[in-house]
């Protein structure tokens, strides 16, 4: 088989690698059952799902048409990668003292700077939508115990 889409092939390999790492690491934790999930249950099955998606992407990269072939792989955009990683670290650092609303907003705004199509207006709108979804899904839907606001504002 001929490699027709090198970018898709590389993305599929990344999915398989990350998914495999999740599954292997999670298998060291207690699994539990679907009714009473242990700490390893969700990451294990997420890893398996990522590996399946990666395999599908790899298969598609090998079977696509030549007319739709992607350009050659270019180098890594290390600046954008560092910005996204910094956003995730900031989220982890800010979640406890600043609350979920501020941490998600900072995460989205900082990660948005990594995009080559960045605009403050789109980033702010994205932050508002994702903050709302995070609050509705995680706090009200799943009942997770997150502080929504900084301790000073919460009383």
Total Cβ atoms within 10 A of residue 99: 19
Q: With cut-offs at 50, 70 and 90, classify the pLDDT of residue 153.
A: confident
Question: How many angstroms separate the CA atoms of 5 and 57, rounded?
Answer: 10
Question: How many angstroms separate the CA atoms of 14 and 81, rounded?
Answer: 15
Total Cβ atoms within 10 A of residue 130: 14
Task: Annotate 66-120 with DSSP letters as a single string.
Answer: GGGPPPPP----HHHHHHHHHHHHHHHHHHHHH-HHHHHHHHHHHHHTTSTT--H
Residue 64 confidence (pLDDT): 67
Residue 108 confidence (pLDDT): 96
Average pLDDT of the residues in 75-95: 92
Residue 47 confidence (pLDDT): 94
Question: How many angstroms separate the CA atoms of 48 and 100, rounded?
Answer: 29
pLDDT in tens, 16-53: 999 999 999 999 998 888 888 888 888 999 999 999 99
Residue 151 confidence (pLDDT): 74
Predicted structure pTM score: 0.64
Q: Tokens in use for 16?
A: 């398989």
Question: How many angstroms separate the CA atoms of 124 and 105, rounded?
Answer: 8
Question: How many angstroms separate the CA atoms of 42 and 23, rounded?
Answer: 9
Task: Give the angle subtended at the CA of 32 by the CAs of 28 and 34, to the nearest 5°.
Answer: 125
pLDDT in tens, 109-123: 999 999 988 899 999
């Amino acid at each position: 088989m001929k490699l027709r889409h090198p970018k898709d092939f590389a993305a599929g390999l990344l999915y398989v690698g990350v998914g495999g790492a999740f599954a292997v690491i999670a298998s060291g934790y207690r699994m539990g059952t679907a009714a009473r999930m242990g700490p390893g249950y969700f990451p294990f099955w997420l890893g398996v799902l990522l590996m399946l998606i990666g395999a599908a992407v790899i298969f598609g990269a090998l079977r696509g048409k030549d007319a739709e072939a992607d350009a050659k792989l270019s180098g890594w955009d290390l600046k954008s990668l560092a910005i996204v990683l910094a956003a995730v670290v900031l989220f982890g650092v800010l979640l406890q003292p600043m609350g979920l609303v501020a941490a998600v907003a900072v995460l989205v705004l900082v990660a948005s700077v990594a995009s080559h199509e960045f605009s403050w207006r789109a980033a702010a709108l994205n932050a508002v939508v994702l903050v709302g979804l995070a609050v509705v899904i995680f706090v009200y839907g799943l009942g997770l115990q997150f502080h929504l606001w900084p301790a000073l504002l919460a009383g």
